[in-house]
Chain A
Amino acid sequence: MKSRPVQLLIALVMAGALAGLLALFALALALLGDPGDAVTPLTAGRLALALLALLTLVTMLGVSLVWLERKQLGRMQGRVGPTRVGPFGLLQPIADAIKLVTKEDVSPGASSKAIFYAAPILVFVPSFVVWLTIPLSRDLVVRNLDLGVFFFIAVSVLGIVGLILAGWSSNSKYAILGGFRSAAQLVSYEIPLILGALSVVMLAGSMRFTDVVDAQASVPYIALAPLAFAVFFIAGLAEVGRTPFDIYFAESEVVGGPFVEYSGAHWAVFFLAEYVNTFVVAALGALLFLGGWTWPFGDLGQAAAVALFLGKTYLLAVVIFWVRATFPRLRIDQLMMVGWKALIPLGFVSVIAVAVQRFYEWPVWTLTLMSLAALGAAVAVQLRAQRSGAVATAKRYAQRAVAVEPSRRRERTQA
């Protein structure tokens, strides 16, 4: 057992390593050059170096979520989570990765090998590519695209293809069921995700991430459009398959869904992609709704801004894991119902509310009011439909229980 100061020291070293990674990222950005540059060995090498730095950063951010989730779930469930590897178990994901990579890589005999092995990459690449446009602070961004939000949505959809291919090429019934489920789920939830983001884009008047964040310098959009945030966040949960929407790899039903036949390093890539996706959704939530690297009390330095943004992102990630610790999983038809009958109409309400507020140039608090009213109505309807009925039933059962009185009275033999 290491002593606490040593642990703190190692934790500090690891925090420093993360900061170093970020610095490396910044350096790589400087090296990246302009798109107009001629392709020479030098520019190609710089490009490769920059991409490598980006890949490392993205991987580390995803891996950090693995640790956060295990630790947080442990604490929420009356356990301590990983403690053995490294300080506070910080190196646990690394140990897991080493274990996974060194494991035997098995593929089913009847699988379509090429597709089977391509599928993990097809899943991981989109979750990596979206990082080309996600800014860590105003200047720390690979390409500050005009259509950043659009690019994110367009690219993140591509991950579905990998999931379906993984399910189909495994030649397993569980995998194909999971593949179908993922197709239905991800395509359905793409729409509310877009509608939620659209409200923000309309508010900010730009699709550039940095513009959206700058527009929130005084008031973050979660205060203006809580409805859009709710729709975006729930759809985001579904998009990355977090509980209660982890239907396509539901452990107790389809035993891992598309991933059921994967092992070793290929499975690790799926696993990593899942956590990178989670980080992306949390980061987008922080960018679009929580004000990214800004806060209402003036400008921040570069390092503080990045730290603030990462803090907000991890906050959303904590909420995502908190949801996981609380809720069971929905059923496929309920998932579709939530998506099509609840989230999409609410998304449209949100868009219309923003449009009305913009068009008539009402004060912004009217938008908050409209959003909250719609959200409250939806929650009230849902609660009335389900929970109150169950509570009434439970009360009735408590009253209806057959009371059994002692049929014999026991005489005491001792004083």
Chain B
Amino acid sequence: MRTQAAYETVDMMLNMGPQHPATHGVFRMVLTVDGERVVDVTPHIGYLHRGSEKLAEHESYGQVVTLFDRLDYVSNLNNELIFCRAAERLMGVEPPERAQYIRTILAELNRLASHLLFIGTYAIDLGGMTPIMYGFRERERIQNLFESVTGARMMHNFIRIGGVKEDAPPGFAPRVRALLDDAERGVAEIDRLLTFNEVFLARTRGVGVIDAPSALSCGLTGPSLRASGVAYDVRKDYPYEVYPYLSYKVPVGENGDCWDRYYMRVLECYESVSMVRQCLDQMEDGPVMAQMRRIARPPKGEVYVHGENPRGDIGVFLVSDGTDKPYRVKVRPPSFCNLVALRPMMRGAYIADAVAILGSLDIVLGEVDR
């Protein structure tokens, strides 16, 4: 588009973040813009680096769970779950079935809450004010439920190595069922308002396209990868907890644009609702904690465990030296890996698209920076 004119134009550096309303925290990207076009983008992260992995080496296994709460602070229970699974795998412990059901229910509800937040903030990124209010209304109900189960709205520390802290409170199942009905209605409401909104379509269809091979090469996972047409879901391909007992659908896109990434998450909301319903149907009474030493002390060894977080594939590489503290905890945060794809997606887009693309990746900076 650029013509060789008698005058010279220079590209402008536009610094977006770490304090910018659309960077979802303290993400910073330096855009090189030619007018309204993005020529190049340099992401900068690390503003929220708390050294969680280093801290984990100095905490006992039980305490590390609290650090995982603070990685992806929008889906805490999924994070707790992945670390507990890794430690359980090292120790050779399998939690009792009721505990697995409770974990799965909580994880799926947290996925729902996280996706609701994503949909709302994504609409805000694009200038739509209403969906976030609807999304927060439903998310608040889920948070209240979490509070009744775990005692905390966000930093739960509820999932423990070998099970969960305690059994679900009385009246749990009917309460969750009522909540699911509400949540399903709420998601449908947002879906009706936003998904086929003319302006929303114009802003997201064909924007930030990434094809399957480069998505794989960039390490994109989760809904963002499925939007590019790769039917990969840890729950489907490497089922864990009670996912083998459930029947569900894994939505797969084909265009790999922002709209697909958004729509995958909307569809996943419905699937999560149905999964939790199945769990409630199947769940039976029983113990919720495996018989094991009170202080976890896994034998020497290492393990790599991964699971499906709302944002993608979270992996934990856990090395034990036989003491009660992990020798090394390495987290593979999905947001961090998804951000690698930002650059190929963003080249040649408009500044407004840059916001749309970043939003569609649904990053959480607590997890990116650790």
Contacts and interface: CB of A to CB of B under 8 A. Distances in A.
Are chains A and B touching in the complex at the 8 Å CB cutoff? yes
Interface of A: 73, 76-79, 173-174, 177, 243-244, 246-247, 250-255, 324-334, 382, 386-387, 389-391, 393-394, 396-398, 400-410, 412-414
Contact of B198 (A78, A325, A386, A404): A386
Contact of A330 (B203, B252, B267): B203
Contacts of B20: 255
Contact of A406 (B199, B247, B352): B247
Given A329-B199, A394-B195, A177 B351 contact: yes
A390 B248 contact: no
Interface string B145-182: 00000000000000000000000000000000000000
Contact of B133 (A78, A332, A394): A78
Contact of B202 (A78, A330, A407): A330
Given A328-B126, A328-B197, A387-B201, A77 B133 contact: yes
B14 interface: yes
Contact of A331 (B21, B123, B130, B350): B350
A325 B127 CA distance: 10
B236 interface: yes
A254 B36 CA distance: 11
B256 interface: no
A328 B199 contact: yes
Interface in B98-136: 123-130, 133-134
B303 interface: no
B49 interface: no
B246 A406 contact: yes
B251 interface: yes
B125 A252 contact: yes
A185 to B, nearest CB: 12
A339 to B, nearest CB: 14
Contacts of A414: 284-285
A248 B342 CA distance: 25
Contacts of A412: 284
Contact of B267 (A77, A325, A398, A408): A398
Given A328-B126, A329-B126, 16 more contacts: A77-B133, A252-B21, A253-B352, A255-B21, A325-B129, A327-B199, A328-B197, A329-B128, A332-B350, A394-B196, A394-B263, A401-B252, A402-B233, A402-B250, A404-B250, A405-B247
Contacts of A331: 202-203, 350, 352-353
B22 interface: yes
Contacts of A329: 126-128, 199, 203, 352
Contacts of A173: 12, 14-15
Contact of A78 (B137, B201, B250): B137
Contacts of A402: 231, 233, 236, 249-250, 252
B144 interface: no
The interface size bin for chain B is 35 or more
Contact of B259 (A73, A390, A409): A390
B248 A326 contact: no
Contact of B197 (A79, A327, A382): A327
Nearest to A331: B352
A408 B244 contact: yes
A51 B205 CA distance: 51
B355 interface: yes
Nearest to B271: A401
A407 B127 CA distance: 43
B202 A397 contact: no
Residue with the greatest number of chain B CB neighbours at <10 A, chosen from A251, A331, A402, A409: A331
Given A250-B352, A252-B125, A397 B253 contact: yes
Contacts of B304: none
8 contacts: A325-B130, A326-B193, A327-B128, A328-B203, A332-B36, A390-B196, A401-B267, A414-B285
B350 A79 contact: no
Contact of A328 (B128, B239, B282): B128
B111 to A, nearest CB: 15
Contacts of B194: 328
Contacts of B253: 397
Contacts of B248: 403-404
Nearest to B33: A177
A401 B250 CA distance: 5
Given A250-B352, A253-B351, A398-B267, A73 B129 contact: yes
Contacts of B137: 78
B8 to A, nearest CB: 18
B357 to A, nearest CB: 12
Give the 3 A-B CB pairs with smallest separation, nearest first: A329-B127, A77-B133, A328-B128
Nearest to B237: A404
B196 A250 contact: no
A405 B250 CA distance: 11
Contact of A326 (B15, B130, B231): B130
A393 B254 CA distance: 9
A330 B199 contact: yes
B47 interface: no
B200 interface: yes
Contacts of B123: 328
Interface in B236-277: 236, 239, 242, 244-255, 259-260, 263, 267
A403 B205 CA distance: 25
